[in-house]
Amino acid sequence: AQSVTQPDIHITVSEGASLELRCNYSYGATPYLFWYVQSPGQGLQLLLKYFSGDTLVQGIKGFEAEFKRSQSSFNLRKPSVHWSDAAEYFCAVGDRNAGNMLTFGGGTRLMVKP
- The reply on whether position 66 binds another protein by CB under 8 A is no
Of 40 and 114, the one with the shorter C-beta distance to another protein is 40
Of 85 and 103, the one with the shorter C-beta distance to another protein is 103
Stretch that binds another protein, among 18-26, 31-39, 56-64, 66-74 (CB under 8 A): 31-39
Q: Is 48 helix (H, G, I), strand (E, B) or coil?
A: strand
- The reply on whether position 106 binds another protein by CB under 8 A is yes
- The reply on whether position 74 binds another protein by CB under 8 A is no
- The reply on whether position 27 binds another protein by CB under 8 A is no
CB neighbour list of residue 11: distance below 8 Å, 6 or more residues apart: 19, 21, 108, 109, 110, 111
- The reply on whether position 77 binds another protein by CB under 8 A is no
Cβ 105 to another protein shortest distance, Å? 5
Burial of 8-21, coded b for 16+ CB within 10 Å and e otherwise, reads: eeebebeeeeebeb
Which residue ranges make up the site for another protein (CB under 8 A)?
A: 4, 32, 34, 36, 41-46, 49, 51, 90, 92, 94, 96, 98-107
